[in-house]
Structure formats: structure tokens, C-alpha cells
Structure 1
Amino acid sequence: MKNKIDSKIQNGYTLDTGSLIDESIATFKKTFLISGVAMILLGIIFAIIYGTLFIVIYGFSDLTSTMTQLQTSKSTAIGLLTTVIITTVTSGFFAPVTAGFIHANHLAKNNQEIGINVFFEFYKSKFFKDIFLSYLILGLTTGILNAGLVLINLEILSYIVQSVLALLTVFTLPLIIYGNQNFENAITKSIQLFFKQPILIFVALLLAFIGMILGIFALCIGIIFTFPYYYSMVYAIYYQAIGFEEKSVIDEIGQEEI
């Protein structure tokens, strides 16, 4: 598989926007309900974790006053450092879940059963270290760049920075969990692969983003179920660009579980 990936980097690959849309929608149809439930569960977990941290750090003080202080502190050195740390740790901690959303599409593509456990199974997989470290690096990079933009009063550009990083690293998680790459190679090769088809990948992910935000029009809560479509497109891009090696039933016997 590593040779196949290196070959794609060397010789390039082809993408077809129409096929990407068809393939991503096909897997999304099979995963959107279970992915939506996972999103709700993650929202609850996220609220509990951050609510607990908020209370531990700031106590049961006046919420309006506290939020005003937090907004003001963003422009200070300590405030920016705190933001960078939180961004970095959050990126690393939730990266295995992101990998789970991508993998759910792989299971759907192969008509395999998908349960809630799929979204959390990478926490105990052999890929956890590289998944965690890759997003730790990306979170740190994002945090530092955003902090720099705040210091020079260009905070609005942070959205562009995040979008560019998302494009450059679109292959990172699939390369780790399917290409058996370590975190360094996954990030590096993702950037190299992106520049083989930058326009088509940008268009595909833009369409995925538009499809994702359409859920806002369904009483806002619909985005819970449309948000995972982005990961369906990420999987479709990897599937069409890199693909998977064919294995016989005998080859699969005894294969190490994820």
C-alpha cells in the first residue's frame, strides 16, 4: 500500500467531481442516521467536559461578566496562549472520533454493520498515537497562526487559514488508518497528494461544505445529520484518488483488527 501511495504522489491520480458526489451521497445515505446520533452524543460529551472545566476554572460566577472577561483576555498574551493550548488539546483528543466518522463510510461502502462504537474504536486502535499526534500538530499550527493574526488585528483571516489547512491535510487521517502511514508521513504526503489535484479537491470539499450547511435550514438542528456529509466526501476523495488493495478471504483471516 505504501508503494501505491508513493506512486500516486509521483505520477498523480484522477478525480471526477460527478463520481465524487455520487459516491459520497451513496455512503452518506447509509450513515447519516447513525452519524447524527453520534453527533448528538458527542455534543453531550463536549458540553459536559467544557461545562465542568468552565466551573472548575471560573466557578459559578456571573456568566455575562465571565464571558466579557474571556473576550477581553483573547487579546492578551496569556489569553492567546490559553486559546492555543485548548485548540491543540481539543484537536488531538477528538481526532480519533473524526477518524471514526471517515471509517463509517468505509464500512458503508463495503456493506458492513455500523454501530456507535465505530466512532470511538480508534481510541483503542494501533493507530491512536499517530492520529492523536497528527491532529496535535495541526491544532498547534492552527492555534499559533490564529494567535499571530489576532496580534496583528487580522483575526478575520483565521477562517482562511483553517480552510487552507483543511485542504492541505484532507488525506492525513485516511493515510494513517488505511495507508498505514505514521503521523509525519501522513501530513507530508497529504500535502503532496493535494497539490496533484488542488482545484478538484477544493471544489469537492466546497460542495461538501454547502451540502453540510443545508441542514441549518431544517430548523437548524438538521445540521447534526448533514454535518457528517463532509467526511463522506473526504472518504470518497481518498477512495477515488488512492483506493484500496484487493484482498482475498484467506488474506483477511487472522488480520489484526482495527
Structure 2
Amino acid sequence: MNNKIDSKIQNGYSLETGSLIDQSIATFKKTFLISGVAMVLLIILFVIIYGTLFAVFYGFTDVMGSMTELQTRQSSVFGILITVLVTTISTGFFAPITAGFIHANHLAKNNQEIGINVFFEFYKSKFFKDIIISYLLIGLTTGILNAGLVLLKLEILSYIVQAAVGLLTVFTLPLIIYGNQNFENALTKSMQLFLKQPVIIFVALLLAVIGMFLGIFALCIGLIFTIPYYYSMIYAIYNQAIGFEEKSVIDEIGQEEI
């Protein structure tokens, strides 16, 4: 598999937007319900964790006052450092769940059973270390770049930075869990692979974001079920760009501990 990935980096690969849309929708239709349930659980977990942290540091006696104080601190050097730290830790902590959302599409494509446990499976997998380290580095990079923009009073550019980092690292998780790459190779090769087809990947992910936000029209509740479409597109991009061996190690999930 490593030789196949290196060959794609050296010789390039082809992507077709229409085919990516068809493939992503095909797997999304099979996963949107279970992915939506997982997203609800994730939101609840997110609220509990950040609600607890907010209560510890600020208390709930004066919520509005605490929010104002928090906004003020965010523009200070100390506040910026805390933001970088929180961004880094959060990105790393939730990375295995992101891998789970991507992998749900692989199971759907191969007509395998998908349970809630799939979204949390990578916390106990052999890929855990590389997943965590890669996304800690991604979160740290994003946090530092955004902190620099805040200090320069260019906060509006933070969205561009986040998008750029997201595009350059789009292959990272698939390369780890399907390509058996360590975190260093996954990050490096992800950037190299993206630069082979930057326009088509950008357009495909932009369409995925647009499709994702269509859930707003369902009283916003539908957004919970359409957010996972973004991961369906990431899977489709990897599938079309790199593909899989006839029998990948990841296909053993559920049969033996990954």
C-alpha cells in the first residue's frame, strides 16, 4: 500500500467531481441516520465537557458577565494562549471520532453493519497514537496561526487559515487508518497528495459544506444529520484518489481489535 501511495504522489491521480458527488451521496444515504445519532451524542458530550470547564473557571451565577469577561480575555495574550491550548487539545481529543465518521462510509460501501461503537472504535485501535498526534499538531498549527492573526488584528483571515489547513490535511486520517501511515508520513503525504489536485478537492469539499448546511432548512435540527456528509466526501476523495487493497487491515474491524 505504501508503494501505491508513493506512486500517486509521484505520478498524480485523477478525480472527477460528478463521480465524487455520486459516491459520497451513495455512502451518506446509508450512514446519515446512525451518523446523526452519533452527532447528537457528540454534541451532548461537547456541552457537558465545555459546560463543566466553564462552570469551573467562571461559574454560572452571572452567565452574561462571564461571557463578556471571556470575550475580553480572548484578546489578551493570556487569553490567546489559552485559546491555542484549548484548540489543540480539543482537536486531538475528538480526532478518533472524526476517523469513526470517515470509517462509517467504508463500512457502508462494503455493506457491513454500522453501530454507534464504530464512531468511538479508534480510541482503542492501534492507530490511536498516530491519530491523536497528527491532530494535536494540526490543532496546534491552526491555533498558533490564528493567534498571530489576532495579534495583527486580522481575525477575519482565520477562516482562510482554517480552510487552508483543512485542505492540506484532508488525506491525513484516511492515510493513517487505511494506508497504515504514521502521523509524520500521513501529514507530509496528505499535503503532497492535495497539491496534485487542489482545485477539484477544494470544489468537492466546498460542495460538501454547502450540502452540509442544507440541513438548516429543516428547522436547523437537520444540520445534525447533514454534517456527516462532509466526511462522506472525504472518504470519496480518498477512495477515488488512492483506493484500497483487496483486503485492507481496516476491514478486519469488528473481527479483531484494530
The TM-score with structure 2 as length reference comes to: 0.96
Match for residue 43 of structure 2? 43
Q: How is 1:197-236 mapped onto 2 (pairs within 5 angstroms)?
A: 197-236=197-236
Q: How is 1:83-162 mapped onto 2 (pairs within 5 angstroms)?
A: 83-162=83-162
Letter aligned with residue 145 of structure 1: L
SS of the residue corresponding to residue 120 of structure 1 reads: helix
SS of the residue corresponding to residue 205 of structure 1 reads: helix
Whole-angstrom distance in 1 between the partners of 2:195 and 2:135: 20
Whole-angstrom distance in 2 between the partners of 1:257 and 1:66: 45
Letter aligned with residue 152 of structure 1: L
Q: CA deviation at 1:257?
A: 3.5
Match for residue 194 of structure 2? 194
* 1:241 correspondence with 2:258: no
Whole-angstrom distance in 1 between the partners of 2:31 and 2:68: 40
Q: How is 1:62-73 mapped onto 2 (pairs within 5 angstroms)?
A: 62-73=62-73
* 1:13 correspondence with 2:13: yes
Whole-angstrom distance in 1 between the partners of 2:28 and 2:247: 25
Q: CA deviation at 1:256?
A: 5.3
Match for residue 33 of structure 1? 33
Q: CA deviation at 1:162?
A: 0.3
Whole-angstrom distance in 2 between the partners of 1:148 and 1:20: 36
Whole-angstrom distance in 2 between the partners of 1:257 and 1:199: 38
After superposition, give the CA deviation of every residue in 1:182-205 in whole Å (9 maximum; x if it has no partner): 101100000000011011101100
Q: How is 1:174-189 mapped onto 2 (pairs within 5 angstroms)?
A: 174-189=174-189
Whole-angstrom distance in 2 between the partners of 1:69 and 1:50: 16
Match for residue 164 of structure 1? 164
Q: CA deviation at 1:124?
A: 0.2
Letter aligned with residue 111 of structure 1: N
* Identity value in percent: 80
Q: CA deviation at 1:108?
A: 0.1
Q: CA deviation at 1:221?
A: 1.0
* 1:52 correspondence with 2:66: no
Q: CA deviation at 1:60?
A: 2.8
After superposition, give the CA deviation of every residue in 1:20-42 in whole Å (9 maximum; x if it has no partner): 00000000000000000000000
Whole-angstrom distance in 1 between the partners of 2:216 and 2:149: 29
Whole-angstrom distance in 1 between the partners of 2:164 and 2:56: 35
Whole-angstrom distance in 2 between the partners of 1:206 and 1:43: 23
Q: CA deviation at 1:151?
A: 0.5
Letter aligned with residue 137 of structure 2: I
After superposition, give the CA deviation of every residue in 1:94-134 in whole Å (9 maximum; x if it has no partner): 00000000000000000000000000000000000000000
Number of matched pairs:
254
Whole-angstrom distance in 2 between the partners of 1:224 and 1:79: 30
Letter aligned with residue 67 of structure 1: M
Whole-angstrom distance in 2 between the partners of 1:226 and 1:212: 5
Which sections of structure 2, spanning at least 5 residues, go unmatched?
none
Q: CA deviation at 1:235?
A: 0.1
Whole-angstrom distance in 2 between the partners of 1:109 and 1:60: 46
RMSD: 1.3
Whole-angstrom distance in 1 between the partners of 2:32 and 2:108: 11
Whole-angstrom distance in 1 between the partners of 2:207 and 2:68: 36
Q: CA deviation at 1:217?
A: 1.1
